[in-house]
Structure 1
Amino acid sequence: MARLDKDLPGWRISDSPRSRDEGWNSQLQQLLDHISQHGSLPVWAGSRSKEENSLGNWLRSQRQSLQAGRLQRERGDKFDAIAPS
């Protein structure tokens, strides 16, 4: 790993709470952008766009987590305001 750190700085994905929050918020912003551009939620299957399918899978996963009570309350509130079930 020391060699990777030397040869490829930044290769590690940080798993800190801050980086997880930033990643989640980034996905949420992509969802907002998609809705703004297309006027609809992304689909998780059947789109010709890999980006839409990926975002649709994230959306589906977040809905499942929300319904199962596994989504942090703050995230659930943000998510439910944008994409209610």
Structure 2
Amino acid sequence: MAAIIVRNLDDEVRRRIKERATANNRSMEAEARAILTSAVSQNRFVDAWLSLTDQLRSDANGVPELDLPARSLPRDLDLS
């Protein structure tokens, strides 16, 4: 396993990690590990979701399959 040192960590960030660790019944190290793991795992989920739903958003030529309704200008607002 690799080790990482974070220099110049703001005191407020350290305090908030400590609070989260206490709330989650973890050490600060375990909480920081969970935060980092979550931060990098989230991108994989979004990329996978976008890839899977790409076929729903457009056809093979990149043209949307759903017709969007025409938009109109907003109505005038009378505040009198």
TM-score, length of structure 2 as denominator length: 0.29
TM-score, length of structure 1 as denominator length: 0.27
The structure that has the greater radius of gyration is: 2
Q: Between Structure 1 and Structure 2, which shows a larger proportion of helix residues?
A: 1
Higher relative contact order (CA 8 A, sep 6+): 1
